Amino acid sequence: MEAPLEYAIGIDIGGTTAKFGIVNHRGEISHRGKLATNKHTDVNIFIDELHNALQPAIKEVGGLEMIKGIGVGAPNGNYYNGTIEFAPNLLWRGVIPLAKLISDKFDKPCTLTNDANAAAVGEMMYGAARGMKDFIMITLGTGVGSGIIANGQLILGHDGFAGELGHTVIRPKGRLHPGTGMHGTLETYASATGIVETAKEMLEDNPKQKSVLRKISAKKLDSKAVYEAAIEGDKIAKEVFKFTGQILGEALANFVMFSSPEAIILFGGVIKAGKLLMNPVKKHMEKNLLPIFQNKVKLLFSELKESDAAILGASALVWEIKEKQPE
């Protein structure tokens, strides 16, 4: 038997940057770095830059022979194929065989999955879901993503694309989602973008109601401003979070009746709203559950820093890479 390989490389790919780190078996990240993803349409340039950026770190931990493999979390990442497929927020178009490109370049096995799935695995191994076998992770950022764990495993589906809960319809014929053309999906309401949209609608529908939000130009209005106004007691801003929480709570109730998770873990920029969001979420989730599910599901915030969760989750996939059997 060979000595155990001590480190995994975890990479979290986003629309503007890729963050990476070297992770040991205890989930400690070292040698963090980042790299732009919005500079070149040719993914090969990104792979070269990534390779260069990681060389000093790899050398410092003792060379390539100390690295077991590379794990990647990426939007529209497919675990089965190792591909990124038609990711609307990335410059790399179509189907990108990212795992193979990385594996060839680094001469190490590479595993890839959806970014929200990677975050869920990170949370299960090192965060708020430690020891849980059934939970759902919902990421509330510019969009709404999700990663579902059941029976201690990621739910990937027959094609690797399971867990697109942000695109489930929660208000039939509701708000248009410009990216997908669908109406009334969770993402159109519960994302940072959705919160701003709700604020704009409420400002327009209640022209006589004073609000500090009216002082902010439509272009500059963001979910942070709505949150800050709500904290200051702004009536419309508070209503925005009540409404957002109701929609999200109703959606979570439906998810609970699907997989009956021990917990739902919320993650991403929007959770900075804290109780402003959580109180209505909890109220409307419970209200829409069958009695057998009521007052059982823990609603938790992530315990990991945002970028750490995906790096850790991606790196965790590496430990599951099967060694080749000796022949």
Residues lying near its own copies in the complex (CB under 8 A) are found at: 76, 85-86, 132-134, 148, 150-151, 153, 155-165, 167-172, 180, 182, 250, 253-255, 257-262, 288, 290-293, 296
- Tally of CA atoms within 13 A in the half-sphere of 289 that contains its CB: 23
Contact between 1 and 299 under an 8 Å Cβ cutoff? The reply is: no
**At closest approach, how far in Å is the CB of 133 from its own copies?**
7
Angle between helices 223-231 and 275-287 (to 10 degrees): 90
Pairwise CA distance, residues 327 & 245, whole Å: 56
Task: Closer to its own copies by CB, 141 or 166: give it.
Answer: 166
**At closest approach, how far in Å is the CB of 135 from its own copies?**
8
**At closest approach, how far in Å is the CB of 36 from its own copies?**
26
Task: Closer to its own copies by CB, 124 or 170: give it.
Answer: 170
Task: Closer to its own copies by CB, 84 or 230: give it.
Answer: 84
Least Cα distance to 110 among 90, 129, 92, 84 occurs for 84
Pairwise CA distance, residues 265 & 124, whole Å: 10
303, two tokens: 């315990």
Task: Closer to its own copies by CB, 134 or 306: give it.
Answer: 134
**At closest approach, how far in Å is the CB of 154 from its own copies?**
8
H helix intervals, the chain: 43-60, 98-106, 115-126, 186-190, 192-205, 223-231, 235-259, 275-287, 306-319
Going by C-beta distance under 8 Å and a sequence separation of 6 or more, which residues neighbour residue 167?
177, 180, 182, 185, 186, 187
Task: Closer to its own copies by CB, 27 or 249: give it.
Answer: 249
First-residue to last-residue Cα distance in the chain? 13
Task: Closer to its own copies by CB, 80 or 275: give it.
Answer: 80
**At closest approach, how far in Å is the CB of 229 from its own copies?**
27
Contact between 230 and 241 under an 8 Å Cβ cutoff? The reply is: yes
Q: Which residue has the tokens 């106004």?
A: 229
Q: What are phi and psi of 45, to 5 degrees?
A: -65, -40
**At closest approach, how far in Å is the CB of 309 from its own copies?**
21
Task: Closer to its own copies by CB, 67 or 87: give it.
Answer: 87
Task: Closer to its own copies by CB, 159 or 323: give it.
Answer: 159
**At closest approach, how far in Å is the CB of 129 from its own copies?**
11
Pairwise CA distance, residues 211 & 216, whole Å: 10
Q: What are phi and psi of 247, to 5 degrees?
A: -60, -45
**At closest approach, how far in Å is the CB of 291 from its own copies?**
8
